[in-house]
Amino acid sequence: MTDDLFSLLSPEGVLSDSADASVDLRGMFSDMVMSRRIDTEAIALQRQGELGLWASLLGQEGAQVGAGRALRPRDVAFPTYREHGVAWCRGVDPVSLLGLFRGTTLGGWDPTTNNFNLYTLVIGAQTLHAVGYAMGIVRDGDVGTGDPDRDRAVLVFLGDGALSEGETNEAFVWAAAQNLPIVFFCQNNQWAISAPYSVQSRVPVAQRAQGFGFRGVRVDGNDVVASHAATVEALEHARAGNGPTLIEAFTYRRNPHTTSDDDGRYREGAVTDDWTTLDPIERLRTHLTGIGTGEEFFAGVAAEEADLSERLRAGCRALPDPSPESPFLHTYVDMPADLEQQMHDHVEYVAAGEVDPA
Amino acid sequence: MSTAMAHALNEGLRSVMEEDPKVLLIGEDIGRLGGVFRVTDGLQKDFGDARVVDSPLGEAGIVGSAIGLAMAGYRPVCEIQFDGFVFPAMNQIITQLAKYRHRSEGTVTLPVVIRIPVGGGIGAIEHHSESPEAYFAHTAGLRVVSPSSAQEAYDLIRMAVRSDDPVIFLEPKHNYWLKGEIDRAATPAPFGSAQVVRPGDDLTLVTYGALVPTAVKVAAAAAEDGRSVEVIDLRSLSPIDDATIFASVERTGRLVVAHEASQTAGLGAEIAARVQDAMFYSLEAPVIRVTGYDTPYPASRLEGDWLPGLDRILDAIDRSFTY
């Protein structure tokens, strides 16, 4: 199934000689472990009633950390709603990922601080925002200068389901025709909720790029080293002014679509078990152990993981409820008079319902 | 020298492009062709194809990429070729453009203008005469404006481009070639305000866009019957300038609202509801709507009678005075 994929770290943990020796394998391992921990804790919090919903990334840590670690600070990422591992690599406070799912916010972080945009729930809509941002980079002259501190690119994430959306196809048309500095990173986890990839396409994801006139690359998404190398190369290509790339990170969504989904209705557990044996974290652990990485490293990661889980649990419960006037405050830059009146009435109404603690 | 509304828009766009290098135009056929209505005529020649962008054919792409450009610090002005073709872009407008500032708690503003030629009366074929304003006015986060004259077009397009809120800019194509004087030095009325086009004491007639010149003719005809009709041009369809309408109705006690769009859940219903809520004891008669019908926009051979015209509006005024 995975024979035709670009791979550098085999399922047995053997690293290819062609892998970049300077890559920080320990850092990647740690990032994958933390990404999974965010996921595990969030699912637990959902089960405890602290979150309304969670979209799990289980099995996709290799693709996400590989791609996320390829970004430079000035590059800009446009995620779907499942890119918790990319958010982690981008330095977004993991507690802030929970607010959207807890219902304390519709966003959760300042997209300009880490160049990591807000999650996008409408499938494929962000591909066009990424195209527009890339057009802005071109107009700023921040592409193809050869100055690594100046050249920038956009990395936009999508799932295999998004490939069926018209807007994604428009994004491909625009990106190709204008040779934009953009990398489309498709995590083909093979499921659009219950629809398998075969419902959507008769060719592999990467092959589609050719029809639009740019490069498609197929990479083993459970191989963090290959995912990273492919994204680094595609971003370099984009920053240099050579245009877009579509990366297909072939992987598998081992959990249901979200915590509300029942994947037992549409797929066999045995297939998921097969993919468990291809786990991206265990693969790198095997390699690191094989090259003599000491136990103290793994213990350090485990300790950091424990701290993170503590922080997530406490942080989730401490997320402040938004104020009654908050929906009104950010809807317009210039609040219309009638909306101001609605806000005033609503705040008064809410305040009147408050029980005096005395 | 008198200027057609389409030229006033062109001039307004040119002036804001000169003032702010971050302003750019994006749309189908807006470059060498100058747009199918020539509103962008000559701008690509003068500002280059990086600032006047001939887009691929794809309305979602036009609006979606404008959102990304705005995130990158630009002020894009989109052109949608015809009203009936905005619907492929509705996802980007409603789920993305209108909401991103709110979702980002004010850290990201999207100063995007979407220009759409709207309305009928020009003998067009299907999907070229729609009045989609209520869809936009119903969506929080958008501002919706519509000029009716050359002066308003010049002022409003300049204000729309400078606005940090997303603006849906509806251009009544019936009025594109109506000419009027433009005072470029005048201080325009605030963005979001209605305008009393013709003062009167006996009845308030509220409309906007294509029907404003008709409303002025209605007022002249009513004057011959001894009725003094005040005509208000809304200009801003969201937000609605309640204060101007309420002040007028308080004096006249009667209100007729006219628009081309279908009646049900249209802006006329919104204005009627606001006025009866706030002005119940000032009203001498129920608020009456004169609108397009709740049908698809008809084949153009029928549009002359289908559209609210002088006689239908005068009939509504007569009806108001029967109470």
Nearest C-alpha in A relative to B96: A125
Interacting residues of A87 by C-beta distance below 8 A, sequence separation 6+? A68, A79, A94, A97, A116
Distance CA A280, CA A217 (A): 19
**What distance in Å separates the CA atoms of residue B112 and residue B27, rounded to the nearest whole number?**
13
pTM assigned to the model:
0.96
pLDDT in tens, B225-237: 999 999 999 999 9
Q: Give the SS3 label for residue B321.
A: coil
Distance from CA of B51 to the nearest CA of A (A): 9
pLDDT at residue A23 greater than cutoff 90: yes
Indicate whether A185 and A297 sit together in one domain: yes
| Strands B195-198 and B229-233, bridge-based pairing | antiparallel
Residues A254 and A345 reside in one and the same domain: no
Nearest by Cα to A106 from A86, A125, A121, A94 = A121
Q: Give the other-Cβ count within 10 Å of A272's Cβ.
A: 16
- Residue B266, token pair as written in the block: 């249209």
Residues whose CB is less than 8 angstroms from the CB of residue B245 and which lie 6 or more positions away in sequence, other chains included = B194, B204, B206, B232, B255, B271, B274, B275
For the stretch A305-355, pLDDT in tens is 999 999 999 999 999 999 999 999 999 999 999 999 999 999 999 999 876
Both A269 and A347 in a single domain?
no
Radius of gyration of chain A (CA): 21
Tell me the percentage of chain A whose pLDDT exceeds 70.
98
Is A29 within the bounds of a domain? Answer: yes
Are A289 and A341 in the same domain?
A: no
Range of the domain at A195: 23-318
Q: Cβ separation of A122 and B109 shorter than 8 Å?
A: no
pLDDT at residue A271, rounded to an integer: 87
pLDDT of residue A270: 86
What is the spatial distance between Cα B169 and Cα B160, in angstroms, rounded to a whole number? 8
Q: Do B92 and A130 touch (CB under 8 A)?
A: no
Task: Sort out which chain B residues have CB atoms less than 8 A from A332's CB and list them.
Answer: 101, 141, 143, 165
Q: Is the model's pLDDT at A358 over the cut of 60?
A: no
What is the nearest CA distance from A178 to chain B, expressed in angstroms? 10
Judge if A162 and A50 occupy the same domain. yes
Q: Give the span between the Cα atoms of B122 and B130, in whole angstroms.
A: 12
Q: Where are the alpha helices (DSSP H) in B116-241?
A: 133-137, 150-162, 212-224
Mark whether A347 and A302 lie in a shared domain: no
Determine whether the interchain pair A129/B68 forms a contact, defined as Cβ–Cβ distance below 8 Å: yes
Residue A16 covered by a domain: no
Mean of the pLDDT values across residues B298-319? 97
A338-344: long-range contacts, CB 8 A cutoff, minimum separation 24: A338/B239, A338/B240, A338/B242, A339/B239
Of A354, A303, A289, A203, nearest to A15 by C-alpha is A289
Residues A295 and A202 in one domain: yes
Q: What percentage of residues in chain A have a pLDDT greater than 90?
A: 95
Q: Is the pLDDT of residue A2 over 80?
A: no
One domain for residues A135 and A250: yes
- Known catalytic residues of B are 128
Q: What is the pLDDT of residue A229?
A: 98
B73 contacts chain A (CB < 8 A): yes
Q: In what order do the strands lie in the sheet with B236-238?
A: B52-54, B23-27, B75-79, B113-118, B167-172, B143-145, B236-238
User: Percentage of chain B surpassing pLDDT 70?
Assistant: 100
B25 touches chain A (CB under 8 A): no
Three-class secondary structure of residue B120 per DSSP: coil
Question: Residue A184 domain-assigned?
Answer: yes
Has residue A139 been placed in a domain? yes
Q: Is residue A84 part of a domain?
A: yes
**CATH number, domain with residue A211:** 3.40.50.970
Mean pLDDT of chain A: 96
- Model confidence at B1, pLDDT cuts 50, 70, 90, reads confident
Residue A1 lies in a domain: no
For B261, phi then psi, to 5°, come to -65, 155
> Which residue, chain included where needed, has tokens 């304003």?
B133
Distance CA A58, CA A279 (A): 9
- Beta carbons of B102 and A122 less than 8 Å apart: no
A233 and A336 part of one domain: no
Q: How far apart are CA B171 and CA B75, in angstroms?
A: 19
Predicted local distance difference test score (pLDDT) of residue A206: 96
Q: How many angstroms away from the CA of B190 is the closest CA of chain A?
A: 12
Please indicate, yes or no, whether residues A121 and A51 belong to a single structural domain of this protein: yes
Separation CA A263–CA A240 (nearest Å): 43
How many domains is chain A partitioned into structurally? Answer: 2
Q: What are phi and psi of B188, to 5 degrees?
A: -70, 155
Q: What is the pLDDT of residue B219?
A: 98
Per-residue tokens: A321: 């409820």
User: Which chain B positions have a beta carbon within 8 Å of A177's beta carbon?
Assistant: 56
The alpha-carbon gap from A174 to the nearest alpha carbon of chain B, in Å, equals 7
A12 within some domain:
no
Structure confidence at residue A269 (pLDDT): 87
- A119-141: average pLDDT: 98
Contact: B72, A105; criterion CB under 8 Å: no
Q: What is the pLDDT of residues B105-151, one digit of tens each?
A: 999 999 999 999 999 999 999 999 999 999 999 999 999 999 999 99
Domains located in chain B, CATH noted: 2-181 (3.40.50.970), 195-321 (3.40.50.920)
Chain A residue with CA closest to B239: the answer is A336
Kindly state whether residues A143 and A214 are assigned to the same domain. yes
Q: Decide: A87 and A79 in contact? Cβ < 8 Å.
A: yes
- A-proximal residues of B, 227-256, CB under 8 Å: 238-240, 242-243
Rounded to whole angstroms, how far apart are CA atoms B252 and B284?
9
Chain B nearest-CA residue for A139 = B50
Q: Give the model's pLDDT for residue A1.
A: 42
* Other CB atoms within 10 Å distance of the CB of residue B320: 24
**A4, part of any domain:** no
- Closest residue to A132, CB basis, from B64, B163, B243: B64
B44 in contact with chain A, both atoms CB, cutoff 8 A: no
Residue B171: pLDDT band (50, 70, 90) is very high
List pLDDT tens digits, range B47-104.
Answer: 999 999 999 999 999 999 999 999 999 999 999 999 999 999 999 999 999 999 999 9
Asked if B102's CB is within 8 angstroms of A333's CB, the reply is no
- Domain co-membership, A133 together with A233: yes
Contacts of B91 in chain A (CB under 8 A): 122, 125, 167
